[in-house]
Amino acid sequence: MVKFTKMHGLGNDYIYFDCIEDANLIKDVAEVAVKLSDRHFSIGGDGIVLILKHDVVDYQMRMFNADGSEAEMCGNAIRCVAKYLCDNNYVTESNVKIATGAGILAIEIHRNENNKFISATVDMGEPILNGLSIPTTIDKDKVVGEIISLENDNSYLMTCVSMGNPHAVIFTGEITDEQVLVDGKELEVHKFFPNRINVEFVKIINKNEVEMRVWERGSGETMACGTGACAVCVAAKLNGLTEDKVTVQLLGGDLEIEWNQENNHVYMTGTATTAFEGVVEI
């Protein structure tokens, strides 16, 4: 029996395991992720996250999707890790660095007058725009407004961005279930994307607000995606649709995203919530 904490960032929910004292607490991680993520027969979630010590910085996050595949990063999950470290007194300062599959990220923790976690701002680093580096099979410095066609004869203009994990952003007048649940699923495994891809469908509200739904690689549609929101901010700016700072409205709530043009870093601010704790047999 192993202790876990169920947390979510705007409804993007994962099962978190404290592996700080025992890095080998969870064995057969991919198998455990598939088993525990099942919403009908187990805890349920978009995957699992391991919180570990790290040799270079204090802590590390490893995350596994509901299908057992390991992902490089998750913006909502890293805010939850920051909250967990704060709530359990692992971190008492306002700043912490956490290692991820996308590199080491710096996080500023915002607390209330009672020193309780409110939200976190994550320096998500520089967006990767080169087509082969994202990766896609498109050999261009920037993949902006590129046509992608599907087997059902639907086609879209996409802009691709990596925030440590790959995203294809599609702007549309209205976001439909068919786009997200049918075309998003096909786009994830399109031949353009050697490592599969996360797909964001986006409606522009105004220069400072957008609406977004996401089909996440390995998990299907989720309530929110932090790296996806960052990719949307970058893609919208590249297409001349928004300003540098935008509020991204997701199914689970809002994220504040800024692409700082001076240092070319993207900053994400949002909440994190503990749903419940428990023990589970693995």
Beta bridge mates, 158: 146, 170
pLDDT of residue 8: 97
Amino acid letter for position 18: D
Q: What is the pLDDT of residue 182?
A: 97
Rounded CA gap, 146 and 74, in Å? 25
Pairing of strands 2-9, 166-171: unpaired
Dig out the tokens for 278 from the structure. Answer: 């428990």
Give catalytic residues, as residue numbers. Answer: 74, 225
pTM for the whole thing? Answer: 0.91
Interhelix angle 226-238/75-87, rounded to 10 degrees, is 130
CB 167 within 8 A of CB 198: yes
DSSP string covering 212-244: EEEEETTTEEES--HHHHHHHHHHHHHTTSS-S
Residues whose CB falls within 8 Å of the CB of residue 261, separated by 6 or more in sequence, listed in order: 244
> For the chain (length 282 residues), average pLDDT per consecutive 10?
97 97 96 97 97 95 96 94 97 95 95 94 97 98 98 96 96 98 97 97 98 95 94 98 98 97 97 98 92
Domains annotated for the chain, with CATH where assigned, are 2-125+270-280 (3.10.310.10), 146-263 (3.10.310.10)
What's the CA gap between 205 and 75, in Å, rounded?
Answer: 23
Nearest to 246 by CA among 257, 234, 237: 257
| Distance from the Cα of residue 213 to its chain's centroid | 12
Residue 45 tokens read as: 């979630």
Triad 211, 217, 223: Cα angle to 5°: 40
Q: Count Cα neighbours of 33 within 13 Å in the Cβ-side half-sphere.
A: 22
